[in-house]
Chain A
Amino acid sequence: MSRWCRQWKREQGGSFSLQQGWDLARLWYGDRLSPKWRPFNAQEAQEVFAKVGLTGDFWSLD
Chain B
Amino acid sequence: MGTATEQAEFDNSLRLYTYGQVVDSGRAPTMAEAAAEMSSSEAAVRAAYVRLSESHAFMLTESGELWRVAPFSAIPTAFPVQSGGHTYYGNCIWDALGIPAMLGQDATIPASCGCCNLEMTLRVKAGSLLPHEGLIHVAVPARRWYEDVVFT
Q: Residues of A at under 8 Å CB distance from B?
A: 1, 3-5, 7-8, 10-22, 24-26, 28-30, 32-33, 35, 37, 39, 49, 57-62
Query: Given the known A-B contacts A18-B134, A19-B129, are A10 and B139 also in contact in the complex, defined by CB atoms under 8 Å?
Result: yes
Assuming the contacts A29-B71, A60-B143, asked whether A21 and B19 have C-beta atoms less than 8 A apart, the reply is no
Q: Give which listed residue, B99, B115, B128, B135, contacts A16 with CB less than 8 A.
A: B135
A1 to chain B, nearest CB (A): 5
How many Å lie between the Cα of A41 and that of B115 in the bound state? 33
Asked whether B102 lies within 8 Å of A29 as measured between CB atoms, the reply is: yes
A13 touches which one: B16, B93, B103, B139 (CB < 8 A)?
B139
Contact A15 B143 (CB under 8 A): no
Please report the C-alpha to C-alpha distance between residue A25 and residue B138 in the assembled complex, in whole angstroms. Answer: 15
